[in-house]
Chain A
Amino acid sequence: MANFGFSIKKTRSIQLNEASLAKFRQAVEAVPSYKNCIGCGGCTATCSARQFTDFNIRKVHFSLRRGQYENVAQELQKCMLCGKCTLICPRGVNLRSLIINMRQIIANANEPFEDGKF
């Protein structure tokens, strides 16, 4: 490609074949109903946290699907775990469980009682 000495924007392409999907797979394994997600965004529409901030659970889970794990932990922390998303999900995805599990998987943190240290 000819070099014009300037460019319009940095590329936004996502290299799916280079992305590590290990953590996404772990999440699917922990919450099998995650597979059913059709990405309708109902969860985001009803989200209590969403009313105050730009927290978008649908966006978060798409980042996870593409192996983009940056910022996911900070985003998920905004969730108040009220459970509306789980109740309205038309595909029966257990979103509360998914959020807790994603947070654990990304932080690489076991529950204290799992480690036997208490």
Chain B
Amino acid sequence: MENFNPFVLPFVLGAFALLGICVYKYVRWIRQFDRAQQKVFYKNLFTGKFIPAIWEMFTECLLHLRITKKNWRLGYMHRSIAFGWFLLIFVGAIESRIGTKDHFHFWVAIFYRFFHHTPPANGTEIFFTNLMDLLLLYVLSGVFLALVKKIRSRILGMQRATKHSLMDKIIRYSLWGIFPLRLLSESVTACIYGNGGFLTQTIGNWFSLPVAQFLELPFWSLYSIDLCLFFVLLPFTRYMHIFTEIFLIYFRRMGVKEHTRMTGFTKFELSACSRCGMCIDHCPLYKDLDIPEVQSVYLLRNLRNLEYHKDIVTAAKNCLMCNRCVEDCPVNIDLMNIRRIARDKGKIDMPDSYSYLKNVSAFNAIGRVAYFGGCMSHLTPGITQSMESIFKAVGQDYWYMDELKTICCGRPLLQQGFNSQAAELRLKNTELIRKSGATALITSCPICYKSFKDEYQLPIPVYHHTEYLNMLIESGKLKVSKSDLKVTYHDPCELGRGRHIYQEPRKVLQAVATLLKISDEKENSLCCGMNLGNTVLTLEQQTTIRDNTLACLNEPNPDVIATACPMCKRAFQHGTNANVKDIAEIVADNLEK
């Protein structure tokens, strides 16, 4: 039979097994979508949204631009293997279509050199032969870097690589084996028939003819068997991310979002994690405290692999929810939501817990702005007093919503997996704000701000006080004088990474003081350690994280450390000799009389 040899069977069977298992899994997961998720998905399915989706699939699944932006060496490694392999298959298919007129035996594209012995004669053939060799060299350079990373991850800019399970290790070696085996197989064939390119022919010429004839079939068989092994293991290991990420990008672009409980979409997200381990290095729990196996990569592994199910809760609990890993994740997986899903409190998350709030009635605040200090601001009265004096200075009528009694925004409960209790508080606060008739809501606490913005559906605009102050200063309503204070600014997690408010606080600070640059700011800002996301760390551990953050903030010798979060302020003020102030306080001190 032409274009067939028994050695292709493992490859063919493996490819079909891979296709079958993937289709089965994906169909099952899509059926497990929540109804709301399905609705969004079908609504957007036939809109123009698929064009940016396809572009993102190309740039992320093949070119890996997001990784490249963070670390070009890792980006090169991933791109050379992913894009290089894709091109090997794609160009190989074109070459085999030109070379043979056989479209039925699809494996010919993979094993083209074995079935097509004539040495390249015309320009096109020479071009393709050498291009294929170049692509193989490109992939091999990536595999070489992967090997270097395995031995010393620091060379590629990673402090620590992920600890993998046995299956993940086996499939990794099978992946690394594929390309050297292909090189050897093509080389021995090139030795016999002289049909190689610049690389395979050179290596082929090192073999003597009888050796090459003896080795040809074993090498090609090994190559085929290795491909089969990779294909069959793929759906059960981390390499499932190769195909899942494509789907995940598509669903995300269609507007599908994570639900509060585990759905089919969560399974897509779990499988899209490549366990690259980029979330480990900057995690405060790893960086400052050396706590292993709680980072997002391990939580996702625990949720996905049956043998690690027993460790889910341990990993889920121990996290500051500082969002740093979300910023670092090259796949943009919704890590915080997945963590909240894993923290679900089940039976003890009781509805109707806050019946005592039903007598709280709304204040008539028509024409005023509502000011919500937040629970934590009650521990730092300087912030609320400053805000009140600023409201008075600009002649803004305001309603201090929680001056005496605070109803929590519900985010601390949500972070710990009390979904229905959090919803109850949200409902109450929404009712109070709606009935009051206030025109805008201003809050001093980034935690509340994030909650009001993302989890509430309020009919009025919501501002963090730094945004509000910036508006006042820019519109000229608030006159401030520039003092000679030198300040460094700490980006609170929920305000910075949580809501991407980086510019407004800086503009406000530059209007009243001189802002100094620090090493870790904006997206890379360090956590103050007291974040409400964690309930496991001891005070000593939290203090260690805080001290490292303070060291960074104190480095340029500021007069004042500025922050925009009452909790960060509270955390810092006892740990340093420098003055710790909220932006509102600095502004209130520098009002033009």
* A-to-B contact residues, CB < 8 Å: 32-33, 46, 48-49, 51-53, 55, 77-78, 80-84, 87-88, 92, 94, 96-97, 100, 103-104, 107, 109-114, 116, 118
Contacts and interface: CB of A to CB of B under 8 A. Distances in A.
A78 B310 contact: no
Contact of A112 (B344, B412, B416): B344
Of A51, A88, A96, A111, most buried by chain B (CB within 10 Å of CB) is A111
Contacts of A100: 345, 348, 416, 535
A93 B309 CA distance: 30
B348 A109 contact: yes
B360 interface: yes
Interface of B: 262, 303, 309-310, 312-313, 316, 342-348, 350, 353-354, 356-357, 360, 375-376, 378-379, 404-408, 410, 412-413, 416-418, 425, 530, 532, 535-536, 538-539, 567, 570
Contact of B356 (A32, A52, A103, A116): A52
A84 B539 contact: no
Given A80-B407, A83-B412, A111 B309 contact: no
A81 B416 contact: yes
A106 B93 CA distance: 65
A112 B413 contact: no
A81 B378 contact: no
17 contacts: A48-B406, A77-B353, A80-B407, A80-B413, A82-B406, A87-B376, A96-B416, A97-B535, A103-B348, A104-B348, A107-B347, A109-B348, A110-B346, A112-B346, A113-B309, A113-B342, A116-B310
A88 B346 CA distance: 29
Contact of A51 (B316, B342, B404, B539): B404
Contact of B309 (A32, A51, A116): A116
Given A81-B416, A87-B570, A107 B313 contact: no
A53 B356 contact: yes
A78 B356 contact: yes
Contact of A80 (B346, B408, B536): B408
B455 to A, nearest CB: 15
Contacts of B313: 111, 113-114
B528 to A, nearest CB: 11
A99 to B, nearest CB: 9
Given A48-B407, A78-B354, A111-B313, A92 B346 contact: no
Chain A to chain B: the 4 pairs with minimum beta-carbon distance, closest first: A92-B539, A97-B535, A82-B375, A80-B408
Contact of B316 (A32, A48, A83, A113): A113
Given A100-B416, A118-B262, A83 B405 contact: no
Contacts of B570: 87
A104 B530 CA distance: 23
B44 to A, nearest CB: 28
- Give the interface centre of B303, B348, B376 by most chain A CB atoms within 10 Å: B348
A51 B378 CA distance: 13
Nearest to A95: B535
Nearest to B346: A112
B532 A96 contact: yes
B294 to A, nearest CB: 14
A82 B412 contact: yes
Nearest to A84: B375
Given A78-B354, A107-B347, A112-B346, A83 B375 contact: yes
Given A83-B412, A97-B535, A113-B343, 18 more contacts: A48-B405, A52-B356, A52-B360, A77-B350, A78-B354, A80-B407, A80-B410, A81-B413, A82-B376, A82-B406, A92-B538, A100-B345, A109-B346, A111-B313, A111-B343, A111-B346, A113-B309, A113-B313
A81 B378 CA distance: 15
A34 to B, nearest CB: 12
Nearest to A36: B539
A45 B384 CA distance: 19
Contacts of B347: 107, 109
A48 B376 CA distance: 10
B36 to A, nearest CB: 19
